[in-house]
Amino acid sequence: MQKIRTRFAPSPTGYLHIGGLRTALFSYLWAKKNKGEFIIRIEDTDRARLIANADQELIDTLAKLGINSDVAIKHQSDRLALYQKASDKLIDNNNAYRCFCSPERLDEMRTKQQKNKQVPKYDRHCLNLSKEEIDKKIVAGQKFVVRFKIPDNEIIVGQDAVYGKISIKGQDLDDFVILKSNKFPTYHLASVVDDHDMRISHVIRGEEWMPSLPKHILIYEALKYALPTFVHLPLLLNPDKSKLSKRQGDVAVEDYLKKGYLIEALLNYVALLGWNPGNNKEFFMLDDLIKEFSLEKINKAGAVFDVTKLNWFNAEYIRKIIIQNDKRFDQLISNAESFLGKNSHQAKKVLRLFGSRIDNLSQLGEDSKFLFDLPDYDKKMLIFKKSDLAKTKEAINLALGTLGKIHHSEWNQDTINTSIKDIIEKRKLSPGDIFWPLRVACSGLEQSPSPAELLEFLGKEEALTRVKKAIKKLA
Ligand code: GLU
């Protein structure tokens, strides 16, 4: 049986898009599920659109997510001889021809066609040049491109694993360029030659490449290459069903990582964009995905990329990791450290306090600020809405006395809660009379984790300093 080999073939023209990650992930999963190989290939033949270092950044971002190429990563720009050879062969076999038309002539032609309400299409001006004419032009230094000659009156038929059969009339296709005048191949030629040369069994890519499929099939046939299985993945959509935006902040994988999204959450969510496991299971670690992924469960309908759902996954993973408390918790801590600045050494404690309340680690810095720096607050805030000044004073003074008696070694939520509840019972206070001012005293806020949690976090000394400060305000 043929070995399963898949590839992710990004053009280094920018950041890794969520859609790119989805393609890379599906290709990776299919290869791994079948004990095959996954290949990253850099498609850098469009020299005008190259961005310096974009290739390395794409590779690094994928590596952070655990998606690595099983073979040395190749750049198409290093393989020009291969495409040249294929182009020569296509010319020799009469499947392609040189076109010397100037850009001006092509422009003129197109304008005319548009005026006549024709679909713009190369008029085959150079199709029948004689060998002598061609040689003369080459000797004279005239530039040319190579065009694929679409067979007349042929219906091109193809098969896609997701979208099924396609069939398209040859006359609806243009004699497309396969080799540019700078001797670089176009995407069509390079990707077919490479997919063949790299023995790719499954070409997995976004639906936007579907229109290229008939052209690719023609090249495969002309070069007598066996066809791979084509797998086009459904479009990604915004929640309003428009095509997923290209605005970097919303779709750049690197930005999500910088914002502290967890790798587990990103992979889990992206895996579900256009694929479903066929049951209600929602949580998949990479290993589960490798086991359960299948091409049959890829949907045709566009998949909505919804950040709220991604946030939900992220929150769930943060919670799970804290509860499980295994080595992933250490990773979570070091991830959290980067959002806590000078308080990064407290990351573990902050995570325990806030982990179940956030959906993103980047919220930690802002949310935990008051723990390290008590914000100023108005003394009125200390009085619970169903209480009054006198009761508040009495309660908080009693609390100070009781808390002061707790030994350092017993300074924890349980002891703190028991001692405060004791006061409530003995003095016939309502919980609000005492817990409320304690919360405000410790946080300067009306909403926060519970007072006992705060008191424990702050430690006895700092906690009592804050309580005394509140008492002073009330005096
Ligand atoms: N270089 C193309 C891209 O940037 C690859 C398309 C394909 O996978 O064939 O998406």
Q: So what's the architecture of 379-474 in CATH?
A: Orthogonal Bundle (1.10)
For ligand 1, the distance from its centroid to the CA atom of residue 14, given in whole angstroms, is: 13
Fold category of 5-77+236-304 in CATH: Rossmann fold (3.40.50)
For ligand 1, the distance from its centroid to the CA atom of residue 198, given in whole angstroms, is: 15
C-beta neighbour count of 425 within 10 angstroms = 9
Domain limits, the chain: 5-77+236-304, 79-233, 307-372, 379-474
Express each pLDDT in 194-243 by its tens digit: 999 999 999 999 999 999 999 999 999 999 999 999 999 999 999 999 98
Could you confirm whether 281 is annotated as catalytic? Answer: no
Overall average pLDDT of the 272-286 stretch: 96
How far apart are the C-alpha atoms of 422 and 401, rounded to whole Å? 12
| Three-class DSSP category at 245 | coil
User: Would you say the CB of residue 191 lies under 6 angstroms from ligand 1?
Assistant: yes
Which ligand 1 atom sits closest to the C-alpha of 212?
Answer: 9
For ligand 1, the distance from its centroid to the CA atom of residue 426, given in whole angstroms, is: 73
How far apart are the C-alpha atoms of 343 and 326, rounded to whole Å? 23
Overall average pLDDT of the 134-141 stretch: 97
How far apart are the C-alpha atoms of 301 and 162, rounded to whole Å? 10
Q: Does the structure show a pLDDT above 80 at 435? A: yes
- Ligand 1 probe mutation, 6, 55, 205, most atoms within 8 A of CB: 205
For ligand 1, the distance from its centroid to the CA atom of residue 15, given in whole angstroms, is: 14
DSSP per-residue letters across 14-64:
SSPBHHHHHHHHHHHHHHHHTT-EEEEEE----GGG--TTHHHHHHHHHHH
User: Would you say the CB of residue 9 lies under 6 angstroms from ligand 1?
Assistant: yes
Express each pLDDT in 242-259 by its tens digit: 988 777 668 999 999 999
Q: pTM value?
A: 0.93
Overall average pLDDT of the 92-97 stretch: 98
C-beta neighbour count of 39 within 10 angstroms = 24
Q: Does the structure show a pLDDT above 80 at 166? A: yes
Which ligand 1 atom sits closest to the C-alpha of 23?
Answer: 8
Express each pLDDT in 423-433 by its tens digit: 999 999 999 99
Overall average pLDDT of the 121-135 stretch: 97
Dihedral pair phi/psi, residue 55, rounded to 5°? -60, -50
Closest CA to 112 of 128, 125, 100, 127: 125
**Distance (Å) of CA 376 to CA 381, 416, 429, 441:** 11, 25, 27, 10
Q: At what angle do helices 327-337 and 347-354 cross, to 10 degrees?
A: 100
Q: So what's the architecture of 79-233 in CATH?
A: Alpha-Beta Complex (3.90)
Express each pLDDT in 325-356 by its tens digit: 999 999 999 999 999 999 999 999 999 999 99
Average pLDDT along the chain: 96
pLDDT at position 249 is: 66
Nearest CA to ligand 1 atom 10: 10
Q: Does the structure show a pLDDT above 80 at 1? A: no
pLDDT at position 247 is: 72
Q: Does the structure show a pLDDT above 80 at 378? A: yes
Express each pLDDT in 350-376 by its tens digit: 999 999 999 999 999 999 999 999 999
**Catalytic residue (one of 246, 291, 380, 386):** 246
pLDDT at position 2 is: 85
For the record, the structure tokens of 287 come out as 């290993």
User: Quick one: pLDDT band at residue 164, thresholds 50, 70, 90?
Assistant: very high
Overall average pLDDT of the 3-21 stretch: 97
How far apart are the C-alpha atoms of 413 and 410, rounded to whole Å? 9
- Ligand 1 probe mutation, 17, 191, 215, most atoms within 8 A of CB: 191
Cβ atoms of residues 170 and 203 within 8 Å: no
Amino acid identity of residue 449, one-letter, is P
